[in-house]
Amino acid sequence: MNIFERLESSVCCYARNFPVTFHRAVGVHLFDNRGRPYLDFLSGAGTLNYGHNHPVLKRALLRYIEHDGIAHGLDMHTSAKEAFLESFYGCVLAPRQLPYVVQFTGPTGANAVEAALKVARNVTGRHNVIAFTNGFHGVSLGAAAATGNALHRNAAGIPLTGITRALFDGYLGEGVDTLDMLDRLIADRSSGIDLPAAAIVETVQGEGGVNTASLDWLQRLEKLCRRHGMLLIVDDIQAGCGRTGSFFSFEPAGITPDIVTLSKSLSGYGLPMAVVLLKPEHDQWKPGEHNGTFRGNNHAFVTARETLEHFWRDDAFAQEVRQKGARLRDGLAAIAAKHPGSLVKGRGMMLGIEFESGDLAGKISANAFTKGLVIETSGRDGQVVKCLCPLIIEQKDIERALSILSDCVDEALGRTRPATLKRVS
Ligand code: PLP
């Protein structure tokens, strides 16, 4: 038995699917402790949009540490936080004319979601929140209540309350307008649904199976919220920070959520960091009401600032992401075309192929790993093979991953080809 088996809790899950010891990582590649390379199409579940150890970010961090920069500062003002806020305003908020103030929460996505739910409830004086089928918002109690997944819900150990479940776009197939149903239920004061404080939504559901809300649906959701005095919370923890081809995933819909949660790729370097963006009129916190020791991860502020200055000063990087996303989508469509019943889903570089069963998708993911591709499944039954490669990926690596995936689908369908693992220096 190795130390992991002897000492680590049975709760760990990714390690079961990728049972090696990873040792180092550069760009789009992970290397195990025997030097074997893996193309990383998991990217820390969307945390490494700029790849592993990006040299520009690494240099900035090393410089900061070398000069004894503040590492931990609670929520006190620090130069690193000041520089991050300046860049966040200059590169993200001002060009998009977004009015938000920034709340630094504890460094997990779940903690940002907890804060968003609390503030929405306190501002509106209502307790009920609408969350959608297959949504994933984290595993602490408030966030787990908003999450659909049975495994995570059942682990809570107490009833999860304060949420009414509504149907995500397309849940009942193309012909059914799920927002009309929700609108009717909220408008009918005898429907049994308490007037909601807010609706919380992912524009593309990451863990829920890369289900993608149409732009029209998002626009109408915003209108529905306004009509009923509800706040619109977009949980952009996985779909944000460029993943879908714009900094915020909701930009193409032209909506302005009342509250936005961001985490995962915000620091750019895989360092824990989360924020809640609030329209100023909703920033009604009393000092210290949503506290937390690690709301000042200054190392994350340093790399986050560098990320914004390097990638988000103009639209060039977003355009690049959209172009690469289009190529990746074409490649996935060609693979899906070989397997009737499978379907390409997603937007930008948040893409996946839905297969008829979790069993089949799981075999494809496991086989891909033996060929040097780390790629996970998501969705209700794990039926979606989800591509979350770093956005900085080069064309040749996209092609290589597509070729491995194609082989794995062939093999899962019984058309065997030899393994294609190559060494990368
Ligand atoms: N919200 C979304 C959309 C997520 O994808 C996740 C994590 O995958 C979370 C919230 C929770 O973030 P964390 O795991 O950092 O608590």
243 lines ligand 1 (CB under 6 A): no
What's the mean pLDDT in 192-211? 98
235 lines ligand 1 (CB under 6 A): yes
136 lines ligand 1 (CB under 6 A): yes
Q: Mean pLDDT across the chain, nearest whole number? A: 96
163-166, strands of its sheet edge to edge: 101-104, 275-278, 259-262, 231-235, 198-201, 129-132, 163-166
| Residue 227: predicted pLDDT | 98
Q: Are 35 and 62 in contact (CB under 8 A)?
A: no
214-218, 258-262, 293-297: least confidently modelled range: 293-297
Distance CA 190, CA 41 (A): 48
Rounded percentage of the chain residues whose pLDDT exceeds 90? 95
- For residue 223, CA distances in Å to 65, 180, 230, 254, 328 come to 47, 12, 10, 12, 33
Six token digits for residue 344: 């390409």
152 lines ligand 1 (CB under 6 A): no
Closest CA relative to residue 195, chosen from 171, 221, 222, 162 = 162
Residue 416 has pLDDT above 80, yes or no: no
Cα 112 to ligand 1 centre (Å): 9
| Residue 296: predicted pLDDT | 85
Tell me which residue has its CA closest to atom 12 in ligand 1. 109
Which residue out of 237, 377, 386 has the highest number of ligand 1 atoms within 8 Å of its CB and is therefore the one to mutate? 237
Ligand 1 atom with minimal separation from the 139 CA: 16
Question: Which DSSP state fits 35?
Answer: -
233 lines ligand 1 (CB under 6 A): no
37 lines ligand 1 (CB under 6 A): no
Distance CA 44, CA 159 (A): 30
Return the residue matching tokens 């992991």.
4
Ligand 1 atom with minimal separation from the 108 CA: 15
132 lines ligand 1 (CB under 6 A): no
Indicate the pLDDT class of residue 175, thresholds 50, 70 and 90: confident
Query: Could you report the per-residue pLDDT of 123-144, keeping only the tens digit for each?
Result: 999 999 999 999 999 999 999 9
Distance CA 205, CA 124 (A): 26
Cα 260 to ligand 1 centre (Å): 13
Closest CA relative to residue 387, chosen from 18, 37, 49 = 49
What's the mean pLDDT in 146-175? 96
Q: Which residues of 122-133 are buried (b: 16+ CB within 10 A; e: fewer)?
A: ebbebebbbbbb
CB atoms within 10 A of CB 145: 18
| Residue 414: predicted pLDDT | 79
| Residue 415: predicted pLDDT | 62
Residue 412 has pLDDT above 70, yes or no: yes
Q: Are 30 and 22 in contact (CB under 8 A)?
A: yes
Cα 137 to ligand 1 centre (Å): 5
Query: Could you report the per-residue pLDDT of 2-11, keeping only the tens digit for each?
Result: 999 999 999 9
Tell me which residue has its CA closest to atom 5 in ligand 1. 238
SS (H, E, C) 387-423: ECCCCCCCHHHHHHHHHHHHHHHHHHCCCCCCCCCCC
Residue 257 has pLDDT above 80, yes or no: yes
| Residue 424: predicted pLDDT | 39
Residue 90 has pLDDT above 50, yes or no: yes
Q: Are 144 and 153 in contact (CB under 8 A)?
A: yes
270 lines ligand 1 (CB under 6 A): no
What's the mean pLDDT in 282-291? 97
| Residue 413: predicted pLDDT | 80
Indicate the pLDDT class of residue 420, thresholds 50, 70 and 90: very low
Closest CA relative to residue 290, chosen from 122, 108, 105 = 105
208 lines ligand 1 (CB under 6 A): no
What's the mean pLDDT in 203-224? 98
Which residue type does 314 have? D
Indicate the pLDDT class of residue 154, thresholds 50, 70 and 90: very high
What's the mean pLDDT in 269-282? 98
Cα 243 to ligand 1 centre (Å): 14
Six token digits for residue 339: 């397997």
Cα 332 to ligand 1 centre (Å): 25
- For residue 192, CA distances in Å to 162, 189, 195, 286 come to 13, 7, 9, 33
45 lines ligand 1 (CB under 6 A): yes
Ligand 1 atom with minimal separation from the 207 CA: 5
237 lines ligand 1 (CB under 6 A): yes
Residue 81 has pLDDT above 80, yes or no: yes
Q: Which residues lie across from 30 on neighbouring strands?
A: 25, 38
306 lines ligand 1 (CB under 6 A): no
Six token digits for residue 394: 């080069």
Ligand 1 atom with minimal separation from the 272 CA: 15
Residue 402 has pLDDT above 50, yes or no: yes
Look up the pTM and report it: 0.96
Q: Which residues lie across from 166 on neighbouring strands?
A: 132
206 lines ligand 1 (CB under 6 A): yes
DSSP secondary structure string for all residues of 112-175: HHHHHHHHHHHHHT---EEEETT----SSHHHHHH---HHHHHTT-S---SEEEEPPTTTT-TT
What's the mean pLDDT in 303-325? 98
Ligand 1 atom with minimal separation from the 239 CA: 3
Q: Where are the alpha helices (DSSP H) in 266-315?
A: 298-311
